[in-house]
Homo-oligomer: A and B are copies of this chain.
Amino acid sequence: MTGDDEPIMLGEIHMNEDDGRVERRDAAANRYKILQTAERLFAAHGVGNVNMADIAQAAGVGKGTLYRRFANKGELCLALLDTQMADFQNGMLARMQQMNIAGLPKLEQLQQFMDALVYFTDTHSPLLCEVQREGLLPLDNTRLQLPHFWQHMTVSALLRTAAAAGEISPELDTDYLADALLSPLKADFFQFQKTNRGFTLERISAGLRTLISGLRNADPES
C-alpha cells in the first residue's frame, strides 16, 4: 500500500465528465498520489484531524492542484468511498436477485437491505460524515448527495414492488417513506446514536425492522 515505487499503477483511466477527453497522465498520477496520501493520513490521524493543506503537502502537490480535483474534503472522501460503494451496490444487487428467486417477500428484502446499510454506514461513518457535512452547504450539493440518492432509489423501488405485490397498501407515499426510513442512517445522526445514546448496530437494525414491519398494516389516511 505504501510506495516503494509507484510510477505505473495508476488505477482506472478517468474521463472529464463533460467531453470524453482522457485525463492527462501527470494529472492521473497526482490524483492517485492524493488519494493514497489522504487514505494514509486519515487512517493515521483520523479524518477530522487532517486538513486539505496537510494532504497537499504530504502528497507533494500544491493546494491548487488538490482543489482542482477535489473541491473540498467531502469530495475527496466521496472519491475514497467510490469503490466501496460500488462493491456494496453490486453485492446488494446480487443478493436481491437471489432473494427474488427464492421468493422472499419484498418487505423482507427491504429489511435485509437496511441491515446491510446499517453495517455499511457504521464501517464508513467517518468518511460519510465528512461527505454529508459538505453536502449541507447551499452550493452544488448534487454530487455529494449521490449516496443518499441511490439508497433512496433502492428503498423506494422495493416499497413500490411491495405495494404491487400486495404486501403494503398501494396508497402509501413510497417516495416519502423511503426518505424517512433512510434518515436515521444519515451519517451524523447514526454517529450520534452510537456515541451519545450508546445504541448497538443490532438495536438500530431491530428498530428499523420494526418501522418497516409496521408499514404492512399502516393506514395512509391517518
User: B-contacting residues of A (Cβ < 8 Å)?
Assistant: 48, 111, 129, 133, 136, 138, 141, 145, 172-173, 175-177, 179-180, 183-184, 186, 188-189, 192-193, 196-197, 199, 203-204, 206-211, 213-220, 222
Residue in contact with A180 in the complex, picked from B111, B179, B207, CB distance below 8 Å: B207
* Min C-beta distance of A59 to chain B, whole Å: 25
A-B contacts, 21 listed (Cβ < 8 Å): A129-B136, A133-B133, A141-B196, A173-B203, A173-B206, A173-B210, A176-B193, A179-B184, A180-B184, A180-B207, A183-B183, A183-B189, A186-B186, A206-B220, A209-B222, A211-B214, A213-B214, A213-B219, A213-B222, A214-B215, A214-B218
Q: Please, which residues of chain B bring their CB within 8 A of the CB of A206? A: 173, 176, 220
Q: Is the CB of A138 within 8 A of B48?
A: yes
- Residues in B whose Cβ lies below 8 Å from that of A180: 184, 207-208, 211
Q: Is A172 a contact partner of B217 (Cβ separation < 8 A)?
A: no
Looking at the assembled complex, report how far the CB atom of A108 sits from the nearest CB atom of chain B, in whole angstroms: 8
Chain B residue nearest to A168 (CB atoms) is B214
Contacts of A209 in B (CB 8 A): 222
The reply to whether A222 and B111 contact each other, CB–CB distance below 8 Å, is: yes
Write the chain B residue with the least CB distance to A138.
Answer: B48
Which of A133, A203, A218 has most B Cβ within 10 Å?
Answer: A218
How many copies of the chain does the oligomer comprise?
2
For A208, the chain B residues whose CB sits under 8 A away are: 180
- Contact among B175, B196, B204, B210 for A218, CB-based, below 8 A: B210
Give me 6 other A-B pairs in contact (C-beta within 8 A), A177-B210, A213-B222, A214-B214 excluded.
A136-B188, A173-B210, A176-B207, A177-B211, A180-B184, A183-B184
CA gap between A118 and B77 in the complex, in Å: 32
By a CB distance below 8 angstroms, the chain B residues around A176 are 193, 199, 203-204, 206-207
**Are A210 and B220 touching (Cβ within 8 A)?**
yes
Contacts of A218 in B (CB 8 A): 210-211, 213-214
Q: Please, how many angstroms separate the alpha-carbon atoms of A219 and B206 in the complex?
A: 10
Name the residue on B nearest A49 (C-beta): B138
Question: How many Å from the CB of A112 to the closest CB on chain B?
Answer: 11
